[in-house]
Amino acid sequence: MSLSFLLFFLPALVAVITGILMLISRNAVYAALFLILNFSSVAVLYLVLGAPFIAFSQITVYAGAIMILFLFVIMLLGAEKLPQSQNLRWQRPAVIVLAAITLAEAAVALITQGGGQPAIQAPVSTLGSPADVGMVLFNEYTLPFEVTSVILLVAVIGAIVLTHKAKRS
């Protein structure tokens, strides 16, 4: 086993395991913490692939801001435990069919790849640099950036209003 294989395989394994644990966790706070760990391991994968800006953006935006927001909302609403719900009869067969389709797609992708590694071209030095991303984000995509911030703010205010009314009752 080469070092590059281990540097890819270990964070990928952590990402898969934490993703599964997040899905099967009955505690909403633990599920959010597993998701933070998943985001962090994906950031490590970005570092391995040579994309440090995307890796640090992943940590800052997802693991840092959005997941902390989720944790505050979960704790604010007092939803430590997800309610037990009745499973619908069609859910289990649908999951089995979708999982089989996903596994078949993965098998086809592995078989058609031919076993060889595709040639990876060196990235352009200015493509994706923080300065270029900032210029594009704040010059060409100012409106979507601001709309996203307003949507997040409205979500937090809505969670606070819903919780405040629920506690008064």
Instruction: Indicate if 6 and 66 belong to the same structural domain.
Output: yes
Report the alpha-carbon distance of residue 86 to residue 11 in Å, rounded: 35
Instruction: Indicate if 2 and 58 belong to the same structural domain.
Output: yes
What CATH number corresponds to the domain at position 46? 1.20.120.1200
Work out whether the CA dihedral 123, 124, 129, 135 comes out positive or negative: negative
Q: Residue 8 falls within a domain, yes or no?
A: yes
Provide the number of structural domains found in the chain: 2
Instruction: Indicate if 15 and 69 belong to the same structural domain.
Output: yes
Which domain does 54 fall in, by range? 1-82
Instruction: Indicate if 73 and 12 belong to the same structural domain.
Output: yes
- Under DSSP, is residue 37 helix (H, G, I), strand (E, B) or coil? helix
Beta bridge partners of 27: 81
Q: Which residue type does 135 have?
A: M
Q: Are 15 and 41 in contact (CB under 8 A)?
A: yes
Task: Please identify, among 15, 50, 82, the residue that sits at the C-terminal boundary of a domain.
Answer: 82
- CA-wise closest residue to 74 among 15, 1, 169, 155: 155
Q: Residue 24 falls within a domain, yes or no?
A: yes
pLDDT reading at 16 higher than 90: yes
Instruction: Indicate if 3 and 75 belong to the same structural domain.
Output: yes
Q: How confident is the model at residue 82 (pLDDT cuts 50, 70, 90)?
A: very low
Report the alpha-carbon distance of residue 79 to residue 29 in Å, rounded: 8
pLDDT tens per residue across span 57-69? 888 888 777 777 7
Task: Please identify, among 52, 82, 112, the residue that sits at the C-terminal boundary of a domain.
Answer: 82
Q: Residue 110 gets which letter from DSSP?
A: H
Average pLDDT, the chain: 76
Report the alpha-carbon distance of residue 88 to residue 99 in Å, rounded: 18
Reported as type and span, the H/E element at residue 48 is helix 28-48
- The maximal CA–CA distance of the chain, rounded, in angstroms, is 64
Instruction: Indicate if 139 and 69 belong to the same structural domain.
Output: no
pLDDT tens per residue across span 91-121? 788 878 888 887 887 777 677 765 555 545 5
Q: Residue 87 falls within a domain, yes or no?
A: no
Q: Residue 123 falls within a domain, yes or no?
A: no
- CA-wise closest residue to 38 among 54, 66, 16, 60: 16
Q: Residue 56 falls within a domain, yes or no?
A: yes
Report the alpha-carbon distance of residue 4 to residue 124 in Å, rounded: 22
